[in-house]
Every structure is written in structure tokens, then in C-alpha cells.
Amino acid sequence: MKNAISWFEIPVKNYERAKQFYTIVMDSEITDHHMPEQNMKYGMFPYDNDNNGVGGGLIEAEGQNPTSEGCTLYLNGGEDLNVALEKVENAGGKVLMPKTDIGENGFMAQFLDTEGNRIALHSFM
């Protein structure tokens, strides 16, 4: 097994709002892959074309409920997670944990997105 995680999905109640939030905070394009026949709005974060890396998406569909409780999903904070973290509140989210040193494992932070999901960031600087 190359990676412990192969795919993740972040549940949202308002796809367009969430897409805008993550596009701003993560400085990356969310690609629409809606599935109208399932009444589902779906957008994918960038991942390598060979699918050798971990990828994920935003999902708005029945039964998909944002939450601040449960598993913690860590998104790649890039070279310095402060770059993404500083955009959270202007994009409509809330910083829950500022950039925190975790020793040899780098740095982490947590935020609440526009949909009510608690999401974390990780970087080595």
C-alpha cells in the first residue's frame, strides 16, 4: 500500500460557496464533475494525472452533512501553511487553531470552513 488514504470527500451544503472558499484558501482550482442524474454537485481538488497521489473533492448531495466533529482531514498547507491560513477568515471561514509547531513533523493548523467542517492544514515550514 503506497498511501493510507486514496480519496477524501468534504461534504457541503452550498457547493458554489464552498468551491469559492477552497479555491481562495488553497489557491487551487476545483474542477466541476457534477452528476445531475444523482442530484449531486461534485468538484475535485487537483491531484496527479496518474492517480498515484491522494485526491479528493467537495460533495453536495442528500445525506452529505458538514461537521466539526469526527475525523480530522489534513490538507497540504504548501511550503508555509500561513499563506493559506491567512486567507481563511476573509474567505468566510474561522481559524480554530493557529499555526502550531509539532516538532520534527512540521506545523499544523485548523479552521472551520464556510460549510461548518473542521479541516486541518499541515506543512513542514
When the pLDDT of each residue in the chain is averaged and rounded to a whole number, the result is 93
Q: HSE-up of 119 (CA within 13 Å, CB side)?
A: 28
Report helix, strand or coil for 46. coil
Q: 1: pLDDT confidence band, cut at 50, 70 and 90?
A: low
**Alpha-carbon distance 6 to 79, whole Å?**
22
pLDDT in tens, 28-76: 999 999 999 999 999 999 887 665 677 899 999 999 999 999 999 999 9
- Residue identified by cell 481563511 is 88
Q: Where exactly are the structural domains of the chain? A: 7-123
Q: What is the pLDDT of residue 52?
A: 65
What letter would DSSP give residue 37? G
- Chain length of the chain: 125
Fold for 7-123, please state it.
2,3-Dihydroxybiphenyl 1,2-Dioxygenase; domain 1 (3.10.180)
Sheet containing strand 41-44, strands side by side: 7-11, 55-60, 41-44, 31-32
**CA distance linking residue 20 with residue 92, whole number of Å:** 10
Q: What average pLDDT does range 14-18 have in this prediction?
A: 98
